[in-house]
Amino acid sequence: MPADGILDQLRDAARETATDGRHSDGLPSQAAAGRADAPAGPEPVRPAEEHDSIAGMPARYVAAPRDTAEAAALLRAAAALDLAVTIRGGGTRQSWGSPPSRLDLILDTTALTGVVEHAAGDLITVVRAGTRLDALAATLAGARQQLALDAPLPDGTVGGAVATNASGPRRMLYGTARDLLIGVTLVRADGVVAHAGGKVVKNVAGYDLGKLVTGAYGTLGLVTECAFRLHPLPAAVAYVTRRVGDPAEAGRVAGTVRAAQLVPAALEVDAPAGGAAAVTVLLEGTPAGVAARAEAARRLLGADATASDEAPDGWGRYPWRDGDSGLKLTAALSGVPRLLADARAAADRHGVPVALRGSAGVGVLYAGVPGTADPERVAGLVDALRAATAAVAGHAVVLTAPPAVRDRVDLWGPVDSLALMRRVKQRFDPDARLAPGRFVGGI
């Protein structure tokens, strides 16, 4: 079909929701209700421009649905036209994962914004997927509440956090996106709308669907709305930091903190390439309680430990920049000191600078390698880091890398459950049109 014909069909599908006012599941459309008397806005479907690409793969069209009904109509039309679709939010993690094997349509979620509901008394919120995490934080702060998800990348959205199961330092206390999510509205590849979970923390009806799509990189469906459990904002915080000689010592110090009764919200290690390291303990709670625990932490860490109510530089950020290679390394808690030492040794062996940062409290570390490093050396380093993580019951994933490195490594590494994951993909997206090739094993 000519490109103009495809564009017209996609636009017609988007306009249908403003005409019939119904979801594919029979519910009234927000689009029709909210736009009945509103002036016409920007066209929700347009030809792709030069910057509209995913991990280097250019698209043909871009659609920005304004609600679940419009998203469902667009996905139904894309299915009828056999278009390959990839979802884009704030664009902060579009370099993560493999490039799609084919790409016709980018579904941009940045028009799917806003808080649908905030039940402050129940510590629950329902929010649209394109909402930025920092905007949501500002809204919830008015009620002295928070969605306790750190945002390592500026401009990140709720949907992006769910798609990648994002987390940061405070996952030690609060968990990841998967732990905080209690309900989702999902549009399948065929345009059917599904709802899972609910707005009650203990409601488990359909809850596993929310867990399933979290971390699936948009390969199972488009999440349009999320229900989260919230937490009160702490009245006081303290960051207690001790600088040490190297990553291995940092691991040992972190182990000492874990064995104590400090109940930290986070326990972070920061080891810049080739230099000294630091261990930081985040404490949250009442002013008196935090002050007492901060003093206990200083005694535990040593006389040279410092305390502040401001986060240290780099707190909660990934240790790489755009164009660098970034890896996620996991380990059993008891293996964190060994992994830190082995990672630094592997960097020295391969002649590649590696910056390490992450949670010694849950065994999740991130490694950054400059994009200018020799690709062959980086590939050798990735192999060494995979061996190091395997030795401590962990795993190493290359989240992002320059093309020359991508060509030399398997980004995901071995995955024991790959056969099961393929079966799940087949059930949700039998024609493999959602983000084809983006996820582990080419899913």
From the CA atom positions of the chain, what is the Rg in Å? 23
Mean pLDDT of 160-181: 93
User: Could you say which DSSP state residue 112 is in?
Assistant: S
- Distance (Å) of CA 421 to CA 138, 212, 213, 358, 442: 37, 10, 11, 27, 11
Question: Alpha helices, DSSP H only, in 242-353?
Answer: 247-259, 287-301, 336-350
Query: For 333, which DSSP code?
Result: G
Given this model, what pLDDT does residue 241 score?
97
Q: Which of 163, 107, 221 is nearest to 399 (CA)?
A: 163
How far is residue 189 from each of residues 10, 24, 78, 373, 426, measured CA to CA in Å? 15, 13, 9, 39, 11
Cβ contacts of residue 4 below 8 Å, gap of 6+?
A: none
pLDDT at 412 exceeding the cut of 50: yes
**Residue range 214-259, pLDDT digits in tens:** 999 999 999 999 999 999 999 999 999 999 999 989 999 999 999 9
- φ/ψ region of 309 (left if φ > 0, alpha if ψ in -120 to 50, else beta) reads alpha
Edge-to-edge order in the sheet of strand 85-88: 45-47, 61-63, 105-108, 85-88
Q: In whole angstroms, give the CA distance from residue 228 to residue 240.
A: 30
pLDDT tens digits along 184-199: 999 999 999 999 886 6
32 versus 241: the higher-pLDDT residue is: 241
268 exposed, middle or buried (CB, 10 Å; 0-12, 13-18, 19+)? buried
Q: Tokens 């940062």 belong to which residue?
A: 357
Q: What is the pLDDT of residues 54-109, one digit of tens each?
A: 988 999 999 999 999 999 999 999 999 999 999 999 888 888 988 999 999 999 99
**Average pLDDT estimate for 11-18:** 83
pLDDT reported for residue 42 = 62
Q: Is the dihedral of CA 213, 129, 23, 3 positive or negative?
A: negative
pLDDT tier for residue 18 given thresholds of 50, 70 and 90: low
Question: Own/partner pairs for 6-12, CB < 8 Å, 24+ apart?
Answer: 6/60, 6/61, 6/81, 6/83, 7/45, 7/47, 7/61, 9/77, 9/80, 9/81, 10/45, 10/61, 10/63, 10/74, 10/77, 10/78, 10/81, 10/105, 11/43, 11/44, 11/45, 12/77
Tell me the two tokens of residue 45. 């479907």
Average pLDDT for 255-270 = 94
Residue 349 has pLDDT above 90, yes or no: yes
pLDDT digits over 363-392, tens only?
Answer: 999 999 999 999 999 999 999 999 999 999
Stated pTM of the model? 0.90
3-class DSSP state for residue 380? helix
Sort residue 442 into left (φ over 0), alpha (ψ -120 to 50) or beta: left
The tokens describing 18, both together, are: 């403003």
Question: Domains (ranges, CATH) in the chain?
Answer: 42-233+415-442 (3.30.465.10), 236-308 (3.30.70), 325-407 (3.30.70.2740)
The pLDDT score that the predictor gives to residue 91 is 86
